Homo-oligomer: A and B are copies of this chain.
């Protein structure tokens, strides 16, 4: 009865339907290019044979996979979740699949993930932040894989990006802090090495201090990992300082949540005794108490725009334009003026 039983191929379907493989392929990928009668015959053959196209073969022949890769620094907290979710929604609407992996904030790991994703045929890549070994960009160019940077906007970068100016956004918040009367400013930042967003946020605070006649070098700065626990530790450390800072600006909401938790444990009232600020405005910011004064980042908008632009690049209809997203301050309760020098 013929060949050994095995997975049906395009060829089998073609034979069963009495057409060429080209026609079957067209039936599946561009049905409007095939006449009704033929299409029905083919579809029936597909059905009765239980045919499923071989993905690897498709990718190989078409030289595209309709897959987009994203490498984010962490999946542990919600920082990237919302934006990525929207990114994915947008992609799916256009028939793309998203593959996500996390680099744990490690450049070497990121490099490896990028290679894997490219090897797996990703049509385009979403990367977080600009800071990256140029060799990587060469590699991507070589493989003709367009990439888009998000969570950071830098018009001077050669790479397109969708994001916001971390420096300006944090600078604005710092301006507000200073205007409220704070002079002894401390900051808990994420690690700035290889993280341009963290670095820019620190720069933003320093710049605002400078612009207000304060000594930017007087900023007390602790760098640590973006974890609640670490935020708590750093805050505790800051509270031992004399004189004690009157405000602790945090590199993001997660760090701020840790600081707040520790303040509670230490019996330090926020914002009466010390103010705390965050960055990102993730869900957490509203849940903690006191609710965080922070910088709102329109994550969904960013995800959506990144997806649209990246798809355009993949499809060759754009060279890659950068787009700048507006952040805005959100005033909640964790920021007030500095405490009076002495209590009555």
- A contacts, CB < 8 Å to B: 5-8, 50, 52-57, 59-60, 65, 115, 118-121, 138-139, 142-144
Contacts and interface: CB of A to CB of B under 8 A. Distances in A.
Contact of A142 (B6, B119, B121): B6
A7 to B, nearest CB: 4
Nearest to A115: B52
Q: Which of A55, A57, A120, A144 has the most CB of B within 10 A?
A: A55
B56 A60 contact: yes
Contacts of A60: 54, 56-57, 60
A50 B139 contact: yes
Given A5-B142, A6-B144, A50-B138, 8 more contacts: A6-B142, A7-B143, A53-B119, A55-B56, A55-B120, A56-B60, A56-B65, A60-B60
A55 B121 contact: yes
A137 to B, nearest CB: 12
A55 B121 CA distance: 7
A60 to B, nearest CB: 4
Nearest to A97: B116
Contacts of A50: 138-139, 142
A16 to B, nearest CB: 14
A75 to B, nearest CB: 13
A109 to B, nearest CB: 15
Nearest to A6: B144
Contacts of A143: 7, 52
A298 to B, nearest CB: 27
Contact of A119 (B5, B8, B55, B65): B55
Contact of A8 (B6, B56, B138, B142): B142
29 contacts: A5-B142, A6-B142, A6-B144, A7-B142, A7-B143, A7-B144, A8-B142, A50-B138, A50-B139, A50-B142, A52-B115, A52-B118, A52-B119, A52-B143, A53-B119, A54-B60, A54-B119, A55-B56, A55-B119, A55-B120, A55-B121, A56-B56, A56-B57, A56-B59, A56-B60, A56-B65, A56-B120, A57-B60, A60-B60
The 9 closest A-B pairs by CB, nearest first: A56-B59, A56-B56, A56-B60, A7-B143, A55-B119, A55-B120, A52-B119, A52-B115, A56-B121
A55 B118 CA distance: 9
Contacts of A138: 50
Contacts of A65: 56
Contacts of A59: 56
A230 to B, nearest CB: 23
A241 B138 CA distance: 70
A284 B332 CA distance: 34
A311 to B, nearest CB: 20
A246 B50 CA distance: 52
Nearest to A59: B56
Nearest to A5: B142
Contacts of A53: 119
